[in-house]
């Protein structure tokens, strides 16, 4: 069995949502954190294990988890180096290229679909998987193997989202068809930010759609005049985010400038996988994933975005819910982590055991 250790980091804000039991053992605490399903959670390792890999997850910047591992295994310092040494992986898979690695002989792989980490960080890898088409030639120019593999949705979150005890008024949300939010956005905001065009869209929607709500981070960066302040609902990470998506009719999505106009982010698949209607920017590759006006909606400007929301809500029973259902079926059929990890597994296997 080939062995792969997946190294990840979480936003500092996420740790306050995790509520790790200080009395729990490391294995239990790590399982609880991964089940929370923040970011890619255990989507990569759990699915790779289905293709014959022995895997291990490490949340490198979780002091609580790393202290637990060190205490239980007798390593007071250099915890990451000790974890790698004890597991003896064939592959080290980085979800964050800024993680500093100790000396080792493993194959170094990474997933890199965010602002460029720097040439030197990319060059430490043997292979980089990315959902950015425009990163492929940039990675290859550094002498590193590049593989285009879009992001995806993991249906496991539908099992992990517990609806019992969740009420809106007198209605218990056992039935996932109950959509209590007209239009939502979940993500970061900021002025200035790397979401300049996205911020213009969010402000326009907040000003024009009275029932619009958003969850995320960056509220403190907004000017006092921002309409987004009036519809802010707090933070929502992991399963908290998925539960909101499961209760929403329309999910507004925006990409940062780093995407260079391409559709690629996880929210496209998270929203549709949870049965919401995706409203995202028009892009040259959108048809690679969804058919506009049948499986999603796209917008070309802040004004167009507002009009698309109004029309979709007005025609929700007639066509909005129909498009949402089509988008959900497309994602569950074609855009899941079991499918994406098959590509990763086959590629890594071929590098470890070349013909």
CA distance 183 to 152: 22
- C-alpha 162/C-alpha 175 separation (Å) is 11
> 93-106, pLDDT tens digit by residue?
999 999 999 999 99
Task: Find out whether 242 and 274 touch, Cβ atoms under 8 Å.
Answer: yes
CA 331-336-340 angle, 5° bins: 135
Count of other CB atoms within 10 angstroms of residue 338: 16
Overall average pLDDT of the 121-130 stretch: 98
**Which whole-number Å values give the CA distances from 286 to 64, 282, 309, in the listed order?**
40, 7, 18
Q: Which domains does the chain have, with CATH numbers?
A: 3-152+337-352 (3.40.50), 156-334 (3.40.50.2000)
Residue-wise pLDDT tens digits, 157-201: 999 987 544 444 444 454 455 899 999 999 999 866 667 789 999
Burial class (CB in 10 A: 0-12, 13-18, 19+), 19: exposed
Cα 340-341-344 angle, rounded to 5 deg: 100
pTM for this entry = 0.94
Q: What percent of the chain shows pLDDT beyond 70? A: 94
- Cβ burial of 230 (10 Å; 0-12, 13-18, 19+) is exposed
What pLDDT sits at residue 193?
A: 65
Write the pLDDT tens digit of every residue in 287-323: 999 999 999 999 999 999 999 999 999 999 999 999 9
Distance between CA 228 and CA 212 in Å, rounded?
Answer: 9
**For residue 112, which of 91, 132, 133 has the smallest C-alpha distance?**
132
Predicted confidence at residue 19, as pLDDT, reads 85
């Amino acid at each position: 069995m080939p062995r792969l250790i997946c190294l990840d980091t979480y936003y500092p804000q996420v740790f306050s949502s995790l509520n790790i039991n200080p009395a729990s053992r490391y294995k239990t605490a790590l399982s609880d954190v991964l089940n929370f399903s923040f970011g890619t959670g255990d989507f990569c390792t759990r699915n790779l294990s289905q293709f014959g890999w022995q895997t291990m997850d490490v949340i490198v910047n979780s002091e609580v988890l790393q202290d637990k591992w060190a205490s239980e295994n007798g390593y007071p310092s250099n915890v990451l180096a000790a974890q790698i040494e004890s597991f003896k992986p064939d592959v080290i898979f980085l979800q964050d290229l800024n993680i500093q690695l100790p000396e080792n002989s493993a194959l170094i792989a990474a997933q890199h679909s965010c602002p460029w980490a720097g040439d030197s960080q990319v060059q430490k890898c043997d292979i980089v998987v990315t959902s950015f088409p425009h990163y492929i030639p940039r990675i290859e120019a550094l002498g590193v193997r590049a593989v285009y593999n879009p992001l995806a949705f993991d249906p496991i979150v539908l099992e992990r989202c517990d609806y019992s005890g969740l009420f809106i008024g007198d209605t218990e949300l056992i039935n996932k068809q109950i959509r209590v939010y007209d239009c939502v956005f979940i993500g970061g905001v900021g002025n200035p930010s790397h979401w300049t065009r996205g911020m213009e869209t969010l402000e326009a929607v907040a000003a024009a759609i009275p029932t619009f709500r958003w969850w995320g981070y960056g509220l403190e960066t907004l000017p006092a005049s921002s309409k987004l302040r009036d519809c802010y609902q707090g933070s929502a990470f992991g399963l908290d985010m998925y539960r909101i998506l499961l209760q929403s009719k329309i999910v507004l999505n925006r990409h940062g400038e780093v995407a260079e106009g391409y559709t690629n982010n996880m929210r496209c698949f998270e929203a549709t996988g949870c049965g919401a209607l995706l409203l995202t920017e028009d892009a040259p590759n959108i048809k690679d994933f969804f058919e506009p006006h049948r499986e999603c909606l796209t917008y070309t400007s802040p004004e167009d975005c507002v009009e698309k929301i109004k029309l979709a809500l007005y025609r929700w029973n007639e066509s909005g819910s129909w498009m949402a259902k089509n988008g959900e079926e497309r994602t569950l059929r074609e855009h899941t982590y079991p499918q994406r990890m098959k590509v990763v597994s086959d590629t890594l296997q071929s590098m470890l055991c070349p013909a």
